[in-house]
């Protein structure tokens, strides 16, 4: 399928249109998940050392968020391995965690980032299913072995293939395409001295 062009080119990273874009969507999902795991882990450690009066920040500074960070790290690892189960669980986890956050705070917080991460996760999930159903068996063009250069086959001209007659008392030899062979005694010459006037002198 042709690569999108024009105004849609800026959104190529968020679309699946061939094998490479499918793999890229999955990698993006894995990267976003890894970043989310790192941020969650830092907030969890910060929650062990401090507290906040802000409800939103206090919710995020939960030491038990270490469990979430470990879960996200595991999902990221398997997502990079193109696991459909991990991708599906990631989307479910993301939806549940966001709904829980909004219910706890009684307000919708961080909607732009939620839309961005949600779209990347959904695209990654779709990518894993497309990968295994459509692109997995296709060869990777980047790993394709380039064709060997054509080698021109040596074909001797008629003068070389013609029978060469030696001086009197010597046998006639002929070029077979690979070497010279005496027509009478069958002797083979890789580089026949007879070509230079010495000939095959073996008696019949």
Domain ranges across the chain = 12-139, 158-196
* pTM exceeding 0.85: no
Are 193 and 173 in contact, with CB atoms under 8 Å apart? no
Rounded to the nearest angstrom, the gap between the alpha carbon of residue 32 and the centroid of all alpha carbons in its chain is 20
Question: What is the structure's pLDDT at 25?
Answer: 93
Burial class (CB in 10 A: 0-12, 13-18, 19+), 150: exposed
Are 173 and 200 in contact, with CB atoms under 8 Å apart? yes
Q: Which of 10-14, 100-104, 127-131 has the highest mean pLDDT?
A: 127-131
Q: Which of 47, 45, 79 is nearest to 61 (CA)?
A: 47
Alpha carbons 59 and 55: distance in angstroms, whole number: 6
Outline where DSSP puts E strands in the chain: 173-175, 180-182, 188-189
Alpha carbons 106 and 145: distance in angstroms, whole number: 58
Question: What is the structure's pLDDT at 13?
Answer: 55
Average pLDDT of the chain to the nearest whole number: 76
116-122 mean pLDDT? 95
Encode 91-125: b = buried (16+ Cβ within 10 Å), e = exposed: bebbeeebeebeeeeeeeeeeeebeebeebbbbbb
pLDDT per residue over 124-158, tens digit each?
999 999 999 888 766 555 555 566 666 665 555 44
């Amino acid at each position: 399928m042709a690569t999108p062009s024009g105004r849609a080119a800026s959104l190529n990273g968020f679309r699946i249109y061939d094998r490479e874009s499918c793999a890229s969507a999955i990698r993006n999902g894995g990267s976003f998940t890894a970043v989310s795991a790192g941020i969650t882990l830092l907030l969890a450690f910060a929650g062990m050392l401090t507290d906040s009066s802000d409800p939103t920040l206090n919710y995020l500074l939960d030491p038990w968020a270490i469990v979430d960070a470990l879960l996200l790290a595991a999902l990221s690892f398997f997502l990079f391995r193109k696991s459909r189960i991990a991708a599906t669980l990631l989307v479910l986890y993301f939806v549940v965690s966001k709904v829980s956050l909004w219910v706890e705070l009684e307000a919708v917080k961080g909607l732009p980032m939620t839309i961005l991460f949600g779209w990347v996760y959904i695209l990654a999930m779709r990518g894993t299913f497309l990968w295994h159903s459509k692109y997995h068996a296709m060869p990777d063009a980047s790993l394709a072995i380039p064709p060997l250069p054509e080698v021109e086959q040596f074909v001797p001209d008629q003068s070389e293939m013609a029978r060469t007659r030696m001086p009197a008392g010597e046998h006639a030899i002929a070029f077979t395409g690979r070497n010279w062979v005496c027509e009478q005694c069958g002797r083979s010459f890789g580089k026949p001295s007879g070509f230079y006037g010495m000939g095959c002198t073996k008696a019949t």
